[in-house]
Structure 1
Amino acid sequence: MLKEKTIIQICIAVSVLFLPFAHLKVIILGIPLYSVEIPIVTALVVYLYGWWRGAFAPSTRIDVRNLLVLGAGLFFFGAALSFSLNPFSWTGLGMIKTWFVIPLIAVWLWLETKPDKREIELIVFVWLCVIGVVSLMSLGYLLQDILTFDGRLRAWYSSPNYLAFFVAPGIFFTHYFAFHPSVSGKKILQGFLLLTLLLLTMTLFLTHSYAVWASIAIAGCIFFFLDRAVFSWKKKGAIIFLFIAIVGIFIFFESGSEKWQAVSSLQERSSLSSRLMIWDVATKIISFHPLFGIGIGRFQEAYLSFQPYFPPYLEWAVPQPHNLYLALWLETGLVGLSGFVLLCTMWLKRLFTIQKSQSEDVSRRRLSALFISILSFSLLLGLIDTPFFKTDLAFIFWLLIALGTSLTEKQNNIE
């Protein structure tokens, strides 16, 4: 019979498998549960049963003196406080449940299982397989000529940028596993990784998401410099040169596209011009609600109500301000934004400690480099997009926090 720990980890892996279908939900006792949430609720039931049997000791990891815990707590508290101080909505309450409560339970459950490096890598590999399947299915939309009006691939996602963000971590995962000892000499695995990388590259190119491309390039350089598997500077230089060459090829083929012309010529109705206007509006809204924000899920409403302060909008349907940090300030207030910054800072500090420690084995250093790079990618992309305020994107953020934290657990001293 499977132990509670194994069942909980399987449930979390199933949630990762359900990420492409995160928008699907069922109603249970009047409460909507998304597909990625159902395995977490199941895992919680298993955990409570294990606690009843004495297999777990709750609250052992909830210590506000730990700055990582404090950051996560402030992030959640800021969202709850902003929600409570603004007009009530069931939609906003559901967002808090889906973007904070359930994912935080998942983080806690994952840490309670005390995963080892192999179990962490298994979740990462499942994540890579999911991304590969999404990429393959997305290319099926290309074969059916199902594209946006400007010829970009978005598959079943709400926008090409959304698809690109979901697929992007796979680039880092393929590099990580390509240099993994268990892959060395195994042609089937090597072929799988090469095929996956080609699928991901094609998908990313067809989304024409410049922000994602640039963020991958910068975060990729961070990964290559940190990764001990390609330790020599000559190898790192060669890989970075190849990476830059690929980006150059992308730009060469993209230079004649309608989107490229709109961006490079700064046309009045380009996506950049639209973003600049949205950022102006978001800043104006913040000036009216600087401390507690406007409440989670209310940006579209506030954006429309502030139209009299500006010329006619270039874009009217704007659920988020296309900037992660503006969005966090607006929807979670200064408390939530401060918590997010503290959480990410302390998380990165812990992982960089692994990087600097000469006593750490290469495999743990490589994993820390992988996680640092993916969070760096998200934070960079956050300058011009909002890679959090969706069911799957929020789950991905907290999953990354959980995986990175579990890697540092043996250093679980109070910061």
Structure 2
Amino acid sequence: MDRLAPTRARTFAGPAADASTATGRRYRATMFLAVATCVLVPAYTIRWHLGPLPTTILENAILLTFAAFVLESIRESVRPIWHTRVTLPALAFLIAGAISVFVAPDHRAAAGLYRAYFVEPIGFGLVLVNAVTTPRRALLIAVGLALGSVVAGLANSAVVVNALLHHAYDVVQTPPVVIYNTANAVALYLVPLVAFAGAVMLHWPGRIERTVAGAFVAVGVVCVLLSFSRGGYLALAAVAIGLALSHRFRWLLLGAGVVAAAGLLIVPVLRRRIETEINFSDPHNTLVGRSHLWDAALQMLRDHPIFGAGLSGFATAIAPYWNATHPDRFTYPHNIVLNFWTETGLLGVVAFAAILGATFARAWRGWRNSDVYWRTVHLGVLLALLAVVVHGLVDVPYFKNDLSLEFWALLSLTFAVGAGSLSSAHAAAATQTSSPSKTAAP
């Protein structure tokens, strides 16, 4: 962990000490709007136009949050912190995305994706790095994301259960959906939040917080199971193992996890859904289709190795390499490495790998060295990113409005001002420019 100046070291003493510092009282309006934005993340599907420009509820919430951040920074005479260990990789990622706009066959569509998947979520993450000054504020951001995910998850689960009860859905087929376009999107969004909540459930000192987190884990797991996303199941298993290993009763928890998994396999619809994935002769096996798609994507990348296909360009670029009679058409190659390679080129792959590496390293050090509050936050981020990577082996864990914002929001928590990610020079400067206040922030 980066060393802090003595004036800043108090932020590691827990929420009570955080609230007593000037930094713990900053950016109140920004935090309120940031939490509201997190709640509204699934509402990116609600779109309209402002003149010729398309926009969404989520985009407007992000802009309001950023405006509040700028105004409060000016009012409180605070110089925002922007330099962390992830700053340079993030800049390289932005550059890779900008290049991909010009490489893409449809520049207008690519520019829209660049704004939604790169500029806005990274900007939102930068705001959170400065505004999340206490572990409780980090928890509030996670709560906001969780509330939005519960609405989406329960709505989708209700549709699936209704279809099962009326025998209108065969579990080997694509599940019915609501809000999102695919049921996999539910699991992609939910599992990282289940991971974060699981860390709170096992390690946060407060009983109320642990209870609420446990309730969310229970609801989230049910929603993931009813999404019938096999990639989601895989990510959920990885998270469960990580949570068990983080606890002193790890062997007991691992044993309980094995028993729970065995119990779930007794459920006919779940067993049948999983059996199709381990039977490579089953026509509904998606891994076989994925392997063919990956082969075609690699063939395409051999011809476009540096820049890939550009943002939104995969469907066009893959056409000469993909069986024209194949019933499926894909906008992404459904693998985390191939996704970034085709969309952002080699620079994007390297930049995103550096972002993951820096965040994993920071979160691991935070988990090992911080106080009980912040170490829980760091563990939550660590396991959330594990879920992203594992699910990304067979899916698209980033290139959606909700997933990109969730990624940068969670990542920002481990680099937040209050988490001690600043150098001592930055910490001292931030403390000297702080303004007094009589009211403690959460």
TM score, norm. by length of structure 1: 0.86
- Does the Cα contact within 8 Å between 1:217 and 1:244 map onto a contact in 2? no
- Does the Cα contact within 8 Å between 1:254 and 1:260 map onto a contact in 2? no
Q: Where does residue 345 of structure 2 map in the other structure?
A: 333
| C-alpha displacement of 1:225 | 2.0
Mapping for residues 336-355 of structure 1, pairs under 5 Å = 336-355=348-367
**Farther off after superposition, 342-351 or 252-261:** 252-261
Q: Where does residue 201 of structure 1 map in the other structure?
A: 221
Tell me the alpha carbon deviations over residues 332-370 of structure 1, each in whole angstroms, 9 at most, x when there is no partner.
11111111011110111111112332xx31222222111
| C-alpha displacement of 1:153 | 5.2
| C-alpha displacement of 1:407 | 6.5
Q: Where does residue 411 of structure 2 map in the other structure?
A: 401
- Does the Cα contact within 8 Å between 2:130 and 2:416 map onto a contact in 1? no
| C-alpha displacement of 1:128 | 2.4
| C-alpha displacement of 1:216 | 1.5
1:282 maps onto 2:297 in alignment: yes
Letter in 2 for 1:169: P
CA distance 1:26–1:169, change in 2 (3 Å): same
Paired residues in the alignment total 393
Higher relative contact order, chain-length normalized (CA < 8 Å, sep 6+) = 2
**Farther off after superposition, 295-304 or 205-214:** 205-214
| C-alpha displacement of 1:29 | 3.9
Letter in 2 for 1:299: F
CA distance 1:10–1:148, change in 2 (3 Å): farther
1:168 is paired with a residue whose SS is helix
1:87 maps onto 2:105 in alignment: yes
| C-alpha displacement of 1:4 | 7.4
Letter in 1 for 2:139: E
Q: Where does residue 244 of structure 1 map in the other structure?
A: 258
Return the match for 1:222 from 238, 242, 250. Answer: 242
- Distance in 2, matches of 1:113 and 1:262, equals 46
- Distance in 2, matches of 1:10 and 1:383, equals 35
- Distance in 2, matches of 1:110 and 1:121, equals 12
- Distance in 2, matches of 1:136 and 1:85, equals 39
- Does the Cα contact within 8 Å between 1:351 and 1:368 map onto a contact in 2? yes
Letter in 2 for 1:84: F
2:116 is paired with a residue whose SS is helix
Task: Output the aligned Cα RMSD.
Answer: 2.6
Q: Where does residue 117 of structure 2 map in the other structure?
A: 99
Q: Where does residue 74 of structure 1 map in the other structure?
A: 92
- Does the Cα contact within 8 Å between 1:177 and 1:183 map onto a contact in 2? no
- Distance in 2, matches of 1:255 and 1:367, equals 35
Give the unaligned 5+ runs of structure 2: 1-24, 425-442
- Distance in 2, matches of 1:413 and 1:314, equals 54
- Distance in 1, matches of 2:93 and 2:73, equals 27
Give me the identity figure in percent: 18
- Does the Cα contact within 8 Å between 1:117 and 1:407 map onto a contact in 2? no
- Does the Cα contact within 8 Å between 2:336 and 2:395 map onto a contact in 1? yes
1:262 maps onto 2:276 in alignment: yes
- Does the Cα contact within 8 Å between 1:71 and 1:343 map onto a contact in 2? yes
- Does the Cα contact within 8 Å between 1:355 and 1:365 map onto a contact in 2? yes
| C-alpha displacement of 1:272 | 1.3
- Distance in 1, matches of 2:417 and 2:394, equals 30
Q: Where does residue 206 of structure 2 map in the other structure?
A: 182
Q: Where does residue 371 of structure 1 map in the other structure?
A: 381
| C-alpha displacement of 1:299 | 0.8
- Distance in 1, matches of 2:270 and 2:137, equals 46
CA distance 1:194–1:48, change in 2 (3 Å): closer
- Does the Cα contact within 8 Å between 1:304 and 1:316 map onto a contact in 2? no
